[in-house]
Amino acid sequence: MTRTAVVHDYKHPQPGATSTLTLDERVSQEIIKNGIKRPKGYTVSYHANPEVEKMHFGPKHPMKPWRLTLTNKIVLAYGMHEAMDVYIPRAATFQEMTEYHKDDYIQFLSWVTPKIKLDPEASNIFPYNMGDDCPVFDGLYEYCSLYSGASLDAARKLTNNQSDIAINWSGGLHHAKKAEASGFCYINDIVLAILQLLLYHPRVLYIDLDVHHGDGVEQAFWSTDRVMTLSLHKYDKANFFPGTGGSDDTGPKNSANPGAHHSLNVPLQDGIDDESYVQLFKDVVSPCIGTYQPTAIVIQCGGDSLGGDRLGCFNINIRAHGACVEFTKKLCLPLLVLGGGGYTPRNVARLWAHETSVCLGTDLHASLPAHTPFIEHFAPDKSLYPELSQTGRYDNKNTGKYLREIVTSIREQLRYVQGSPSVQLQHVPPDLGAVRDEVEREIQEEREAKDFGRRRKERGAGIRGDNDATPTEKAEGPEVAK
């Protein structure tokens, strides 16, 4: 049969463009080159909803959800997705978010839009702390429900034994309070995730690596001994947000309160370097593990503690930050890994891609794959591990003596922790899984109702009338007619 002219003259619509097959081949080469494979003995899950990446706080706001796009592109370019269970989680429901937050606050987030002029004098708006740091933007409620849903999904994978390490880089928004936004954070997904873990785990250790104090999480679990919070951060009560987290902030002052001595803080000065930071991390985490004996760990990996961050003041490089995640991983406890701060997007993406590889137990080559989308944003070196400690370097004001005093203070506080607490006679929060099942049933019912309505319209239009129905469909009615 003679080939037609159309087929004979066909050319690729984009001459010289990389085909999907070629891209797959390049990713496969990276997988082999970097030795990427599924970990033996444990499972890593990756929770990412691409809709979060589209959100925009405003042109001058330092929070850029687009950093998640860069992160995911690097992860995909190296082929790390092949070694993980990758999930696109659903959004959290109103009921799930009100497991911690107040109903009226979540209702406010659900209806407020940029077109509504916020009046600082209005009592129903001002208490929610909306403003320059926490602006109202298009899609705000969707944004909150998406990143919170991803953290909940990750926590459930841990409690269901479907995963041993669960990652959600869109989460980790640790400043949000019960009834107000704070520090670029609206919903405290960390608290929601920990509540989920507490359904199955008697004790959870929360570790915060953000340059800012994890005040929202600390406040949420202030009066319980079932969660121990440990935050390493820059501390300057008068000049650095949020101005909390001093070494003497250890929980309720009344020793009879179960939460007393369960809020531990590591207040740091400007300029801490790699060696000091990693050693300090090990020196404070190890006694916490030995004394508290947690059964699960949540670690917030805020990237603003890196050197050269737009809002940071440390001299830490990517590998040093990742070494803290590596140390935590080696404790072999169920681990929830979350994002957080970080306001130089290219460096945050590098960090979180590296820490994804840490979770997988893989050493990545420093040069970013040539096929990485948006690779021009990582110029001029196009490296995964640029030297950040020299970028806008701060003098290290953390002396050896000062750091030793911090370690001594932490150990002293742990002396008051009377062993690992039991969960007997403790209130256990309701299972959010029941809410999830109910939502999924509602979604299924809506789909079935739409299908039934469509079939009725088709019959009315003569596409398939009653006379065309099969005997079985006539006998059993429209509910079984497909």
> Is 12 noted as a catalytic residue in this protein?
no
With 0-12 / 13-18 / 19 or more C-beta atoms within 10 angstroms meaning exposed / middle / buried, residue 109 is buried
Q: Are 320 and 277 in contact (CB under 8 A)?
A: yes
Sheet architecture: strand order including 204-208 = 85-87, 44-47, 165-168, 335-338, 296-300, 204-208, 227-234, 263-268
Please tell me which residue in 47, 81, 101, 175 is annotated as part of the active site.
175
Report the Cα 350 to chain-centroid distance in Å. Answer: 15
Neighbours of 438 (CB within 10 A): 12
Tokens of 446: 């809506």
Neighbours of 434 (CB within 10 A): 10
What is the C-alpha separation between 150 and 328, in angstroms, rounded? 21
Phi first, then psi: give them for residue 362, nearest 5 degrees: -120, 135
Tokens of 238: 């008068």
With 0-12 / 13-18 / 19 or more C-beta atoms within 10 angstroms meaning exposed / middle / buried, residue 465 is exposed
Residues annotated as part of the active site: 175
